[in-house]
Structure 1
Amino acid sequence: MDRPSARRFEGKVALVTASTAGIGLGIARRLGQEGAKVVVCSRKKASVEDTVAALRAEGIEAAGRPCHVGDAAQLKAIVDFTVQTYGGLDVLVSNAAVNPASGALLDCPAPVIDKIFDINVKSALLLTQEAVKHMSRGSSIVFISSYSAFNPPAPIALYAISKTALLGLTKGLATELGPRGIRVNCVAPGIVPTKFASALVADPELEAAQRDANLMRRLGRVQDMAAAVAYLTSEDASYVTAETLNVSGGMPSRL
């Protein structure tokens, strides 16, 4: 995909979590290509350093530091780092997620339940609580959910249910932050063949089945998700809040 010509984020600062690979990196890159100063993070210092160097080599203003989103102190630290480095925060994209196990809901052990909801839901709210302290009217927040949120499938139902929770979190926070002029939206990606989703396309037959399950008859691309986030966080969507944009080639999107 060609580099976008729009510069909708000139003078803006964006923080994207889990942004050294996959969809998160694609989002950070797209916002940076449109003029944002971008802060990236992930758990590994080397990954952050490599990503910052790569983005800067592309002409993007970028900085970063390690952050384990399951640690509230580190969430505060990455927000503080963003504000100290670039003087503010205008766009927050909460992308971090885990799926440490698969199987039946009735067989899921308590530690796995705790980890999925701590990382996929609790951290998103705690991060927002820290971020909004520095966000002013016109700022924007996007949560990355999943097409599976609308109909949690076996054997990843628990992961999908955590993504369903983000749909509610989006609406709840949009209600609270709307009077302050801060918009909150959500993107629900379809299957994008990143490392995170590798099990879903592990062999040609499975990949073909996933491709044929949507109306477009293709898998999603990182660029598709990045473009959706760029729209929702830009002034082009200035009257859009509390919404979930299903970017999945036409997969069903009703609870």
Structure 2
Amino acid sequence: MSDDPRTAYPRPPFPGAQQQPRPGLTGPMDPAPDHGEESYVGKGLLTDRIALVTGGDSGIGRAVAIAYAREGAHLAISYLDSEEEDAQETKAWVEKAGRRCLLLPGDLRDEAHCRAIVQKTVAEFGRIDVLVNNAAAQVVNEGLDDVTAHDVEGSFRANVFAMIYLAQEAVPHMRPGSAIVNSTSQQAKVADASMLVYAATKGAISTLTVGLSNLLAPKGIRVNCVAPGPVWTPIQPIVKKPEQIEQLGADTPLGRAGQPAELAPAYVLLASREGSYMTGALVPVTGGQPML
């Protein structure tokens, strides 16, 4: 891999005709995403920590799971039932790092499921040290009339409500020094016209992060969020048109899309002692695109 950030990973154009039905899988993507499988080297920053990562089957979630495992953490990962193939591959990478991995299939739009996966994690490992709220639903719209009640409710349930339910259930099992890391998005500030609902949920997550950080600081629990820009994950071939896929990331200052592996270090920082004075922060990883 090149040290030059402009050429470290594939640049546009990408093959455009690779659309997938929801929820999207890693295997058909061209080029194959890099989750740090061959590159991430741990430093023991999360030794024996217990981390629950939602959306841990693929994309940023898989990269985080691999990085956390190589930093010494045991993992529980949640994902949709239809993503079992990807989840099994993530589990294999975690176990290759010598760590345990608990698989938790199901739909985070269901409050009962959110609470159940926390309880299953605690039953398996005894506690939770890090909660990574990464899973997200993304819908696109051509105009305002395209936005449906189903889109709005489903997106907020998956992207925002689930974070609240998971935090409510996890915090009683967290000790001082624990951390919550939320995935927001550049869309929280940019808010593309075609991502009205998704951008609204990501803005809510940014604000929720600040509120939770203030609420939980007296308990010694830090809460931060990461804001990715355009990243080469399965969500892209689900929602993007061929011409958008072809030029993904071309409009960033670095001229390319990010890879999941490039996001993982931010999640490690925010979960570890290295980020001990960071709470309520938003960390942009956007290829240089500003978040004003």
Q: Tell me which of the two structures has the higher relative contact order, counting C-alpha pairs closer than 8 angstroms and 6 or more residues apart.
A: 2
CA RMSD of aligned residues (A): 1.9
1:192·1:221 contact (CA, 8 Å) conserved in 2? yes
> Please, which of 168, 177, 181 is the counterpart of residue 142 of structure 1?
181
Q: How far does residue 200 in structure 1 lie from its aligned partner after superposition?
A: 6.6
* TM-score where L is the length of structure 2: 0.81
Q: Does 1:27 align with 2:64?
A: yes
1:96·1:119 contact (CA, 8 Å) conserved in 2? yes
In 1, Cα distance between equivalents of 2:92 and 2:208 = 34
Residue in 2 that maps onto 1:231: 269
Matched-pair identity in %: 34
Structure 1: give runs of 5+ residues left out of the alignment.
none
Residue in 1 that maps onto 2:55: 18
More helix by share: 1
In 2, Cα distance between equivalents of 1:127 and 1:5 = 27
Q: How far does residue 252 in structure 1 lie from its aligned partner after superposition?
A: 1.7
Question: Which segment is superposed worse, 65-74 or 242-251?
Answer: 65-74
Letter matched to residue 81 of structure 1: K
> Please, which of 105, 129, 140 is the counterpart of residue 66 of structure 1?
105
Structure 2: give runs of 5+ residues left out of the alignment.
1-35
Q: Does 1:76 align with 2:115?
A: yes
Q: How far does residue 250 in structure 1 lie from its aligned partner after superposition?
A: 1.3
Question: Which segment is superposed worse, 60-69 or 134-143?
Answer: 60-69
Instruction: Evaluate the alpha carbon distance shift between residue 182 and residue 167 of structure 1 in structure 2; reply closer, same or farther with a 3 A threshold.
Output: same
Cα deviation code 1:134-160 (max 9, x no counterpart): 111100001101111112102112111
Q: How far does residue 70 in structure 1 lie from its aligned partner after superposition?
A: 0.9
Q: How far does residue 227 in structure 1 lie from its aligned partner after superposition?
A: 1.1
In 2, Cα distance between equivalents of 1:115 and 1:224 = 29
2:186·2:229 contact (CA, 8 Å) conserved in 1? yes
Residue in 2 that maps onto 1:252: 290
Instruction: Evaluate the alpha carbon distance shift between residue 200 and residue 249 of structure 1 in structure 2; reply closer, same or farther with a 3 A threshold.
Output: farther
Q: Does 1:52 align with 2:91?
A: yes
Q: Does 1:38 align with 2:46?
A: no
Q: Does 1:7 align with 2:44?
A: yes
Query: Matched residue pairs, number?
Result: 253
* TM-score where L is the length of structure 1: 0.92
Map 1:97-108 → 2, pairs under 5 A? 97-108=136-147
Question: Which segment is superposed worse, 74-83 or 48-57?
Answer: 48-57
In 2, Cα distance between equivalents of 1:125 and 1:160 = 18
2:75·2:94 contact (CA, 8 Å) conserved in 1? no
